[in-house]
């Protein structure tokens, strides 16, 4: 492989190629501990599209697979290395190329951090809606590759809803430009959406044209504490049925609340009998925001406590508690977070199902998620050094996916399939759906160059 390494150094410079095993070890996997991973031959850091093309062509000529990677914040193993691959890291391609205020769009490279983009466009009175919980360090390229969601999905949708077009390096090294800069456009197949959520299996995204929205008003916040998950679930269903569209609607179960209170050393005001906490926000501003929160408060009649505030700092503190759940669970041990999405009318059943699984496997399971779209994140706490607990955590992970499917849901709402849910993708989409996926993969990547083993195992593709 010395010939390939020489070509890679020629493409991106000596400093842009890492081969020391002690250094490359930190690029072996993302945040999902269960997903398989191997040791890369090299980790490369291209600076622009032309360098990505050169890396792809070099790897193709040597038949060495490429695993595209952003910041590594993913939770499905989609960016995990396979043995002997080249990990192509896009974090140094971090330019905000353009902010077009008149047409409300931005052109960015994949290494731009989500929060940095939001801050940059905010200075122009604009707003980039997708906000994964890791928005302070995850990158746009990773968000695109997994079609990431976030807390504001209930009103603004997921990543794909904010993308107008892409620039992608294909398996032959050619550059494909998809989409447009206009608000509308239906010329040809929607290739943009094909690449969003493809987890780097079809090409390497090197630029994205993103749609922006006017900067919303400072949000008003409401929290409601319920004595049972059933009453909380009923409130969520009614909020949706009444046609209310808050900018955020999150739910935390008892275990999540207790963990956050212990971690932040503060009380959320939910009380000792609280089984579920609902957090809603409205960014409509003025009387419309007050109207939305009043209507939500009326719906939450069975809550033990309802509190509304228009104080931005108070609202930010409550959202800090919600975003801190995964970190807070580390007070109990290591965590393994799942990602299932169910119809909003069945959120309470999913939470109950997780409680039943928790009792069965003897491990703590906390449930937190986006109540506005039914995307829940049951999180299993376990000791990874204990082989028995590790096995029980794996069983719980799969049992939760089975419950989600049985409730009419999907095995992933935003984290993706990666290398941890390949069998579950086959169960969800069926043999015909899987065949179509394979054929698309073969058409665009006939030599299985990009991220082999993500979504499908290698034998399935060939």
Tell me how many degrees the CA angle 386-388-390 measures, rounded to the nearest 5.
70
Alpha helices (H) along 125-271: 140-146, 153-156, 191-195, 229-241, 254-264
Q: What pLDDT is recorded for position 172?
A: 96
Q: What pLDDT is recorded for position 181?
A: 94
Task: For 88-108, write each residue's pLDDT tens digit.
Answer: 999 999 999 999 999 999 999
Burial of 335 (0-12, 13-18, 19+ CB in 10 A): buried
Q: What pLDDT is recorded for position 452?
A: 94
**3-state SS assignment for residue 126:** strand
pLDDT tens across the length of the chain (462 residues): 899 999 999 999 999 999 999 999 999 999 888 889 999 999 999 999 999 999 999 999 999 999 999 999 998 999 999 999 999 999 999 999 999 999 999 999 999 999 999 999 999 999 999 989 888 999 999 999 999 998 888 999 999 999 999 999 999 999 999 999 998 889 999 999 999 999 999 999 999 999 999 999 999 999 999 999 999 999 999 999 999 999 999 999 999 999 999 998 888 777 778 999 999 999 999 899 999 999 999 999 888 989 999 999 999 988 888 888 988 998 898 999 999 999 999 999 999 999 999 999 999 999 999 999 999 999 999 999 999 999 999 999 999 999 999 999 999 999 999 999 999 999 999 999 999 999 999 999 999 999 999 998 755 444
Give the Cβ contact number of residue 172 at 10 Å.
Answer: 14
**3-state SS assignment for residue 68:** strand
Whole-angstrom distance, CA of residue 452 vs CA of residue 200: 9
Cβ proximity of 141 and 71 under 8 Å: no
């Amino acid at each position: 492989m010395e010939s390939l390494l020489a070509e890679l150094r020629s493409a991106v410079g000596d400093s842009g190629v890492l081969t020391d095993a002690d250094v490359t070890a930190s690029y072996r996997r993302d945040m999902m501990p269960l997903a398989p991973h191997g040791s890369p031959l090299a980790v490369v850091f291209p600076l622009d599209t032309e360098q990505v093309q050169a890396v792809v062509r070099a790897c193709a000529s040597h038949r060495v697979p490429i695993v595209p990677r952003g910041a590594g914040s993913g939770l499905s193993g989609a960016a995990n290395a396979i043995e002997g691959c080249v990990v192509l890291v896009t974090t140094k391609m971090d330019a905000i190329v353009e902010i077009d205020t008149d047409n409300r769009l931005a052109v960015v490279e994949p290494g731009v951090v989500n929060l940095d983009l939001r801050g940059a466009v905010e200075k122009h009175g604009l707003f980039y809606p997708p906000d994964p919980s890791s928005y302070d360090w995850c990158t746009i390229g990773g968000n695109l590759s997994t079609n990431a969601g976030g807390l504001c999905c209930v009103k603004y949708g997921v990543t794909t809803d904010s993308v107008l077009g892409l620039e992608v390096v294909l398996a032959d090294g050619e550059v494909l430009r998809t989409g447009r800069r206009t608000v509308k456009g239906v010329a040809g197949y929607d290739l943009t959406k094909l690449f969003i959520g493809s987890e780097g299996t079809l090409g390497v995204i090197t630029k994205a044209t993103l749609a922006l929205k006017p900067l919303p008003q400072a949000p008003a916040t409401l929290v409601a504490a319920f004595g049972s998950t059933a009453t909380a679930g009923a409130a969520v269903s009614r909020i949706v049925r009444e046609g209310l569209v808050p900018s955020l609607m999150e739910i935390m179960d008892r275990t999540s609340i207790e963990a956050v209170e212990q971690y932040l050393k503060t009380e959320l005001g939910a009380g000792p009998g609280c089984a579920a906490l609902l957090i809603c926000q409205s960014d409509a501003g003025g009387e419309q925001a007050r109207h939305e929160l009043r209507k939500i408060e009326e719906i939450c009649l069975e809550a033990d406590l309802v509190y509304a505030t228009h104080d931005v700092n108070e609202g930010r503190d409550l959202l800090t508690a919600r975003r801190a759940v995964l970190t807070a669970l580390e007070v109990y041990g290591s965590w393994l977070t799942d990602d299932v999405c169910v119809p909003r009318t069945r959120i309470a059943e999913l939470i109950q199902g997780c409680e039943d699984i928790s009792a069965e496997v003897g491990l703590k399971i906390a449930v937190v998620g986006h109540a506005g779209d039914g995307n829940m994140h049951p999180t299993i706490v376990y000791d990874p050094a204990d082989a028995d607990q590790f096995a029980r955590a794996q069983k719980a992970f799969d049992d939760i996916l089975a419950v989600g499917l049985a409730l009419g849901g999907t095995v992933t709402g935003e984290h993706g399939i990666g290398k941890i849910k390949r069998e579950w993708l086959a169960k969800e989409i069926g043999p015909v759906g899987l065949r179509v996926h394979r054929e698309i993969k073969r058409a665009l990547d006939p030599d299985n160059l990009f991220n082999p083993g993500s979504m499908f195992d290698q034998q399935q593709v060939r």
